[in-house]
DNA sequence: CCCTGATTCGC
DNA sequence: GCGAATCAGG
């Protein structure tokens, strides 16, 4: 089997898509990963430009976390955390956030 | 030990 | 140019 244009096209496409040489080899068929890599490097490829293109995953961050405000005393039977909706970028909910940051001129 | 790509080397 | 063998990194 020789490297036809279509096979090279597929090689480049798959390689550029972040596929591994083994995957590409399997995809093309009748080639080992070595052949794929060898051809790839001869083609001037090698490193994959942007592997992220293979998985167009949308960046999602934790919308909210449970409020980490401790309720009760550590070791106590009923000791637990608030668990309410924490404000973004903060470990506590609004209520406890106020409590956490209220040490202004209170004293 | 499994995998990966990179390079080497004979064809 | 081709790909297996080998090398080197995770």
Per-residue pLDDT tens for A84-104? 888 887 888 988 888 887 766
Q: Could you say which nucleotides of strand C lie within 7 A of any protein CB atom?
A: 1-6
Residue with token string 């909706």? A85
* A9 and A40 co-located in one domain: yes
Determine, yes or no, domain membership for A63.
no
Domain of residue A82: give its range.
70-106
Whether residue A36 contacts residue A25, with contact meaning beta carbons closer than 8 Å, is answered with yes
Query: Which residues make up the interface with nucleic strand C when CB must lie under 7 A?
Result: A 1-3, 31-32, 34-35, 37-39, 42
* Gap from A47 CA to C9 C1', Å: 14
Find the nucleotide nearest A41 (Cα to C1′): B6
What residue spans of A2-64 are helical by DSSP H? 5-16, 21-28, 33-43
Determine, yes or no, domain membership for A57.
no
What's chain A's average pLDDT? 81
* A75 and A42 co-located in one domain: no
Res A54 pLDDT > 80: no
d(CA A13, CA A49): 11
Predicted confidence (pLDDT) per residue in A20-48, tens digit: 999 999 988 889 999 999 998 888 876 65
Q: Counting Cβ atoms within 10 Å, is residue A35 exposed (0-12), middle (13-18) or buried (19+)?
A: middle
Verify if strand B has an atom below 7 Å from the CB of A34: yes
* Gap from A79 CA to C9 C1', Å: 48
Determine, yes or no, domain membership for A84.
yes
* Gap from A9 CA to C7 C1', Å: 28
* A19 and A47 co-located in one domain: yes
| Number of structural domains found in chain A | 2
Determine, yes or no, domain membership for A45.
yes
pLDDT-derived band at A76, boundaries 50, 70, 90: confident
* A75 and A46 co-located in one domain: no
Verify if strand B has an atom below 7 Å from the CB of A46: yes
Determine, yes or no, domain membership for A25.
yes
Determine, yes or no, domain membership for A59.
no
* A47 and A74 co-located in one domain: no
């Amino acid at each position: 089997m020789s490297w036809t244009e279509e096979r090279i096209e597929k090689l480049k496409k798959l390689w550029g898509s972040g596929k591994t040489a083994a995957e590409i080899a399997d995809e093309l068929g009748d080639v080992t990963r070595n052949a794929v890599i060898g051809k790839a490097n001869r083609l001037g490829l090698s490193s994959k430009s942007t592997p992220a293109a293979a998985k167009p995953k949308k960046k999602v961050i934790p919308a909210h976390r449970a409020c980490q405000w401790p309720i009760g005393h550590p070791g106590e039977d009923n000791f637990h955390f608030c668990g309410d909706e924490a404000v973004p970028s903060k470990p506590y909910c609004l209520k406890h956030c106020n409590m956490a940051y209220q040490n202004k001129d209170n004293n």
